[in-house]
Amino acid sequence: MIALITNAFLSIVQAAIPASAVVVLAATGAMVNEKVGVLNLGQEGLIGIGAVFTVLAVQVWEIESPWLCLLVGMSAAAVAGTLFAIATVVVRANQVLVGLALTLGGIGLSNQLGTNRNGTPITVVFADLDPAGAFSGNQITEAFFQHDPLAYIAYVFLPLVLWFLFYRTRHGLDLRAVGESPATADATGTPVLTFRMLYTILGCAISGAAGCYMILAFTPTWSQDIARGRGWVALAVVILAAWRPFYVVLGALLYGAMISLDQTTQARNWDLPFLEAKDVSFALAMLPYLVTLIAILVPAGLARIGKRKSARDAPGGLAVPYFREER
């Protein structure tokens, strides 16, 4: 019985890590945006843009390096992020409306550019790390260590770098001040608009990497509407993670575990009580979104009942355009 549970757990972990990496990258990009007070609801569109330009890099421009293809996809997302930053930071348009426009425009653009490429296999992909077969043959090492390098960048490198930047540097203190109280940051000499522009573009590029990951590692084929809700889940994960880099990883892993539970249940033909066989897949497909929603609402509700400030409260200046003349 213990062996059965252990095998099932390792199977879920092995599937959850790549399934969650897309959400980790998109949520990290959204968190970077929101740390400087810019609300970006365009994650679905950015994933699509990053993915379709990665496909073009492989199939049209015939780039043979996955790292260069990743750079192409991130650059395309950064261009879209620049337009978003100009509209929201410089022109100071409504961030919610511009973000929704980015989502709709990104989905439309990616679907148009990806026309007639559905199901076409991608030949340039990231290979799993397995030096001299060291991780093969053992279920534990395969579950935790036999994954592509981009997954480890998403899970380890990015959170470490951002944590150090946010909480261990003067630059990070200025960055967080821009998101919490831009007027105060401006009064101390911090260039608010420059910070918001740069980190909005950077966050969009990271979110675009989520789409690149789908093409170069997770599902190496193109399909219409490739994000399929992952961008919205990423936004929810940022709230669940209380805008902290390592918690973003844990929140995304929770989502990925629910996805892999569906796959493991179908592969092992498990039955769920009170459900007919034909209804199991529908119930499990809904589970990741339901669990993510509950994980957000319950702690927030408890904080409100206790009438105290929640650690999950958003940055004070989030979604509020900054007008220096009103300081």
264 assigned to some structural domain = yes
2 assigned to some structural domain = no
211 assigned to some structural domain = yes
121 assigned to some structural domain = yes
The radius of gyration of the chain from alpha carbons, rounded to an integer in Å, stands at 20
Give the torsion through C-alpha atoms of 79, 82, 88, 94, to 10 deg: 0
320 assigned to some structural domain = no
Q: What's the number of CA atoms in the CB half-sphere (13 Å) around residue 177?
A: 16
Q: For residue 42, what are its two tokens?
A: 């365009």
Please give the chain's pLDDT, 327 residues, in tens: 676 667 767 777 878 888 889 999 999 999 999 999 999 999 999 999 999 999 999 999 999 999 999 999 999 999 999 999 999 999 999 999 999 999 999 999 999 999 888 888 898 999 887 765 666 667 777 777 888 899 999 999 999 999 999 999 999 999 999 999 999 999 999 999 999 999 999 999 999 999 999 999 988 999 989 998 899 999 989 988 889 999 999 988 888 887 777 666 655 555 555 555 555 566 666 777 777 777 767 655 555 555 555 545 789 899 888 877 665
Task: Name every residue whose Cβ is closer than 8 Å to that of residue 148 and which is 6 or more positions away in sequence.
Answer: 18, 125, 126, 127, 128, 129, 216, 217
Count of domains observed in the chain = 1
Q: Are 199 and 175 in contact (CB under 8 A)?
A: yes
Q: Are 111 and 89 in contact (CB under 8 A)?
A: no
Residue 234: is it exposed, middle or buried by C-beta count within 10 angstroms (0-12/13-18/19+)? buried
Comparing C-alpha atoms, which of 130, 143, 150 is closest to residue 54? 150
Q: Are 292 and 255 in contact (CB under 8 A)?
A: yes
Residue 188's CATH number: 1.10.3470
317 assigned to some structural domain = no
Q: Note the pLDDT of residue 130.
A: 73
Buried b (16+ CB within 10 A) or exposed e, 42-81: bbbbbbbbbbbbbbbbbbeeebeebeebbbbbbebbbbbb
Q: Are 176 and 32 in contact (CB under 8 A)?
A: no
**66-85 vs 192-213: helix axis angle to the nearest 10?**
140
CA distance 51 to 81: 15
324 assigned to some structural domain = no
Q: Note the pLDDT of residue 48.
A: 96
5 assigned to some structural domain = no
Range of the domain at 177: 10-129+136-220+227-311
CA distance 185 to 199: 15
**DSSP 8-state code for residue 121:** B
Q: Note the pLDDT of residue 121.
A: 85
Q: Are 184 and 174 in contact (CB under 8 A)?
A: no
Global pTM reads: 0.89
Q: Are 81 and 223 in contact (CB under 8 A)?
A: no
Q: Residue with structure tokens 């219409």? A: 224
Q: For residue 314, what are its two tokens?
A: 């958003």
Q: For residue 197, what are its two tokens?
A: 């522009």
